[in-house]
Amino acid sequence: MATFTSTLPDELLKILAEKAKALSQPKNRLIENALRLYLEHLEKAEYIKSYKQAATDDEILSIAEEGMADYLRELEK
């Protein structure tokens, strides 16, 4: 595991220390969990953006419709 050093605003550090104490967890674990959740949130936002873009792309919609037609034919067999 690597070491990472950073600076945070005093108020944020105070809240972090309070939460760590209340949860009986080390501050670094709270930071790790929060960062992991935030990165997952960013990844999901990227997927949402790409799907929204695909929904307005006529070529992609055409390919999807063709695929659905093929799938329907397979189901009907």
Q: What is the pTM (predicted TM-score) of this model?
A: 0.64
Spatial separation of the C-alpha atoms in residues 68 and 77, rounded to whole Å: 14
Cα–Cα distance between 64 and 70 in angstroms, integer?
Answer: 10
- Looking at residue 75, its pLDDT comes to 83
Count of Cβ atoms closer than 10 Å to residue 32 Cβ: 13
- The model's pLDDT over 23-57, given as tens digits with 9 standing for 90+, comes to 999 999 999 999 999 999 999 999 898 888 877 88
Map the chain to HEC letters: CCCCCCCCCHHHHHHHHHHHHHHCCCHHHHHHHHHHHHHHHHHHHHHHHHHHHHCCCHHHHHHHHHHHHHHHHHHHC
pLDDT in tens, 63-74: 888 888 788 788
